[in-house]
Amino acid sequence: MDYVAYYDSPVGLLKLIADDTAIIELSFEKNSEDNIPINSISRSTSPIINQCIVELNEYFTGNREVFNVQIKPLGTPFQERVWNKLLSISFAKTVSYASLATELGDIKSIRAVGTANGKNPIAILIPCHRVIGSNGHLVGYGGGLWRKKWLLDFESKRKQGELFG
């Protein structure tokens, strides 16, 4: 059985989908009367979604850098390799698509890496926003470049101790 919830975040409404064991999707949604956000664990029937909401609250208040909620991104074996590699990018750090392709063993796979990054079904938790162009510019983000910039700025300021202090 799949469970669905909506979370009202600083980067807009997020749609969370979980099965009985893990988060399988976290995506950006357009606001709708049907998408009622829940930011309270008492309003969800899924323990996985409840945990994800707690961790998102902690992340967006500057009290979490690593997510522990179970995730289960579904994709091709190559996509899953890319997404797994994204999980190793530390909070407030960035890597280029080229370096990611090299780390995966083939610089020529840079376009495939970019495509896999763009198909990441679990935004924020799998930090595809931390991948940038080789020239340091923000390029490509399924949620829009303004969200990518917001997330990177937020993490950078948090890491430098500029938030909440």
Per-domain boundaries in the chain: 3-60, 77-159
**Higher pLDDT, residue 162 or 119:** 119
Whole-number pLDDT of residue 165: 45
Q: What are phi and psi of 57, to 5 degrees?
A: -60, -45
From the candidates 69, 128, 131, 152, give the one annotated as an active-site residue.
128
Q: Is the dihedral of CA 104, 80, 91, 27 positive or negative?
A: positive
Element (H, E) at 155: helix 145-159
Q: Which CATH number fits domain 77-159: 1.10.530.10, 1.10.1200.10, 3.30.1490.190, 1.10.10.10?
A: 1.10.10.10
| pLDDT-based confidence at residue 38 (cuts at 50, 70, 90) | low
pLDDT value at residue 161: 74
For this structure, is 128 an active site residue? yes
**What is the tens place of the pLDDT at every residue in 107-144?**
999 999 999 999 999 999 999 999 999 998 998 888 99
